């Protein structure tokens, strides 16, 4: 008990220091204090990407700028249309064909590599296309593609149900998640495609078609992970899970035998993820594992899926960690010692999946944060960790956070990044926006890619294009097959984005 009190006292002291010297004395940082009182509207979509302001109709287009969460891609488009029904999507398709324009589309715009927009295209911002219907008879949920996972959780919560797979935050749209075939932190599932029964698609002819494993199956498998190249997904039917109550368990261990410890620790868990230490003396050497295991408790535990409120301390700590190695030491000390104290003993599946993302907001003209993810075959994980550490230090990369989640094999998605069971290393970096910063990250990624190719690992295609053409086509040998299907179903390349232009052959 004395040790716990000492830890609380140290945590309080560190918090006061952060507020006094890093926030209160700097007029540009006082907005973090305001965050103590901020309440994010429960129905308002959230994205840390810059928000477009000029919204067009198919009758009148207003030139606008599209960017993504990395703020490294800025694309000028002919206009931004926010459809609210299928007819408006079809009108946009016809307008683009008549005007010989391209169509690009986006949701929360957290893909970072040109997947969200294309120069001089007519852009579909899908976030207003967001109706949701729960189907009691088979416990599925039918959603429009612009619906966020948060809004789906709100709907399912009323029926004590939960989604099976989604990213480790609920701000993203279903359509965007399908475009990258997202995965989550339930080690009993593979990628999103395995939870989808069917979807509807407005194709390059403006027709509304249904795609499933038995109806238009070629498109069903290509659209998952297909970066929005085959049309506009309008409606998706997803399987759901019971919204179980979990016992939360945290374990700290050394990373030398990561795989054994992780497998033992997360046995029988329905949700699981690991966080690594980030300071240079301790880089990737300690691991804190969060496990959520079903319990037979009779207590009434309510969902809390707002996720984005009262996060000022986390925001302040991450600011500190971005800017100094000392800050990383503080962050890791706090996570190890504060999390076991403040994390609830019991939580629901919906709550555990509603991880906040707003604390990552950063308004810095000279630097930005980027996300990358590497999928490592299970039998190569213990080999990967020291190699990854060596490359990070060799290239002097400012890594802010690494989270690891298990993903089962996916044999369905055409561009699957998980052909075998693996562990996904999700890493968050701070980089400068100038040429030097870009070249530094490119050199690091290309050397890492060579190593990933040696061990049959994968780089997640949702993120920045620092790799070479040769590397990405060797890593994803079915990429050419995807592009051939693109020519089959959309020979005029009506649906386009910068990622496709960069990598098609």
CA dist 159 → 135, 136, 350, 442 (Å): 10, 9, 12, 47
Give the CA count within 13 Å in the CB-facing half-sphere of 502: 19
pLDDT of residue 49: 80
- The neighbouring-strand residues paired with 271 are 292
Q: What is the largest CA-CA distance in the chain?
A: 74
* Numbered ranges of CATH 3.30.465.10 in the chain: 130-243
* Numbered ranges of CATH 3.30.70.2520 in the chain: 245-460
Angle separating helix axes 435-454 and 381-394, nearest 10 degrees: 160
Going by CATH, does the domain composed of 245-460 fall within 3.30.70.2520? yes
CA dist 143 → 109, 191, 196, 199, 257 (Å): 19, 18, 11, 9, 42
C-beta separation of 251 from 289 below 8 A: yes
Eight-state DSSP code of residue 114:
S
Tens-digit pLDDT profile for the chain (505 aa)? 456 666 666 666 666 655 554 544 444 454 455 555 556 666 667 777 888 888 888 888 999 999 988 888 889 999 999 999 999 999 999 999 999 999 999 999 988 888 999 999 999 999 999 999 999 999 999 999 999 999 999 999 999 999 999 998 898 999 999 999 999 999 999 999 999 999 999 999 999 999 999 999 999 999 999 999 999 999 999 999 999 999 999 999 999 999 999 999 999 999 999 999 999 999 999 999 999 999 988 888 998 887 676 677 777 788 888 888 999 999 999 899 888 877 889 999 999 998 888 777 777 788 899 999 999 999 999 999 999 999 999 999 999 999 999 999 999 999 999 999 999 999 999 999 999 999 999 999 999 999 999 999 999 999 988 999 999 999 999 999 999 999 999 999 999 999 999 888 7
CA dist., res. 98 & res. 92, Å (int): 10
User: Quick one: tokens of 484?
Assistant: 């051939």
- The neighbouring-strand residues paired with 426 are 373, 403
471-505 burial: b if 16+ Cβ within 10 Å, else e: bbeebbebbeebeebbeebbeebbbbbbbbeebbe
CA dist 61 → 97, 120, 205, 387 (Å): 15, 11, 22, 50
Q: What Rg value do the Cα atoms of the chain yield, rounded?
A: 22
Strand, coil or helix: what is 106? strand
State the CATH class of domain 130-243. alpha beta
Identify the CA nearest to 500 among candidates 213, 92, 121, 184: 121
- The neighbouring-strand residues paired with 140 are 135, 239
User: Quick one: tokens of 472?
Assistant: 């990405």
pLDDT of residue 31: 46
Sign of CA dihedral 63, 124, 167, 389: negative
- Spell out the residues 6+ positions from residue 339 whose beta carbon is closer than 8 angstroms to its own: 250, 288
CA dist., res. 481 & res. 487, Å (int): 10
pTM confidence score:
0.91
C-beta separation of 322 from 398 below 8 A: yes
CA dist., res. 445 & res. 443, Å (int): 6
CA dist., res. 378 & res. 498, Å (int): 33
Q: Where are the alpha helices (DSSP H) in 207-324?
A: 217-223, 258-265, 312-323
CA dist., res. 273 & res. 168, Å (int): 10
């Amino acid at each position: 008990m004395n040790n716990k009190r000492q830890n609380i006292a140290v945590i309080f002291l560190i918090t006061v220091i952060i507020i006094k010297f890093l926030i209160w004395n700097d007029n540009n940082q006082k907005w973090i204090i305001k965050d103590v009182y901020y309440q994010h509207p429960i129905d308002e979509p959230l994205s840390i990407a810059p928000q477009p302001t000029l919204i067009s109709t198919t009758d009148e287009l207003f030139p606008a700028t599209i960017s993504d969460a990395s703020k490294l891609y800025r694309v000028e488009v002919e206009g931004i249309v926010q459809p609210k029904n299928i007819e408006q999507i079809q009108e946009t398709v016809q307008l683009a064909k008549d005007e010989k324009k391209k169509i690009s589309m986006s949701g929360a715009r957290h893909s970072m590599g040109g997947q969200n927009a294309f120069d001089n295209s007519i852009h579909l911002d899908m976030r207003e296309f967001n109706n949701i219907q729960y189907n009691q008879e088979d416990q599925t949920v039918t959603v429009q593609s612009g619906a966020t996972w948060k809004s789906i959780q709100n709907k399912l919560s009323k029926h004590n149900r939960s989604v099976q797979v989604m990213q480790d935050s609920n701000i993203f749209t279903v359509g965007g998640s399908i475009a990258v075939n997202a995965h989550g932190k339930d080690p009993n599932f593979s990628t999103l495609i395995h939870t989808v029964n069917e979807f509807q698609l407005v194709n390059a002819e403006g027709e509304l078609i249904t795609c499933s494993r038995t109806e238009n199956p070629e498109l069903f498998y290509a659209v998952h992970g297909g970066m929005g190249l085959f049309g506009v997904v309008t409606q998706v039917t997803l399987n759901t899970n019971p919204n179980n109550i979990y016992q939360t368990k945290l374990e700290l261990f050394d990373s030398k035998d990561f795989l054994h410890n992780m497998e033992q620790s997360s046995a029988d868990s329905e949700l699981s993820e690991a966080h690594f230490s980030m300071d240079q003396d301790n880089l990737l050497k300690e691991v804190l594992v969060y496990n959520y295991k079903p319990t037979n408790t009779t207590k009434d535990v309510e969902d809390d899926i707002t996720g984005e409120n009262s996060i000022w301390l986390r925001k302040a700590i991450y600011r500190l960690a971005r800017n100094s190695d000392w800050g990383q030491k503080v962050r890791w000390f706090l996570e190890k010692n504060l999390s076991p104290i403040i994390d609830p003993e019991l939580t629901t599946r919906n709550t555990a999946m509603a991880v906040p993302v707003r604390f990552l907001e950063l308004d810095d003209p000279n630097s930005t944060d980027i996300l990358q993810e590497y999928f490592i075959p299970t039998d190569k994980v213990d080999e990967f960790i020291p190699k990854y550490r060596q490359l990070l230090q060799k290239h002097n990369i400012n890594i802010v956070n690494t989270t690891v989640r298990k993903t089962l094999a996916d044999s369905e998605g055409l561009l699957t990044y998980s052909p075998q069971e693996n562990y996904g290393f999700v890493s968050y970096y701070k980089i400068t926006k100038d040429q030097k910063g870009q070249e530094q990250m490119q050199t690091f990624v290309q050397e890492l890619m060579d190593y990933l190719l040696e061990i049959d690992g994968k780089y997640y295609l949702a993120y920045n294009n620092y790799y070479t053409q040769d590397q990405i086509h060797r890593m994803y040998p079915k990429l050419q097959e995807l592009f051939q299907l693109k020519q089959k179903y959309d020979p005029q390349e009506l649906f386009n984005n910068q990622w496709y232009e960069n990598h098609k052959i």
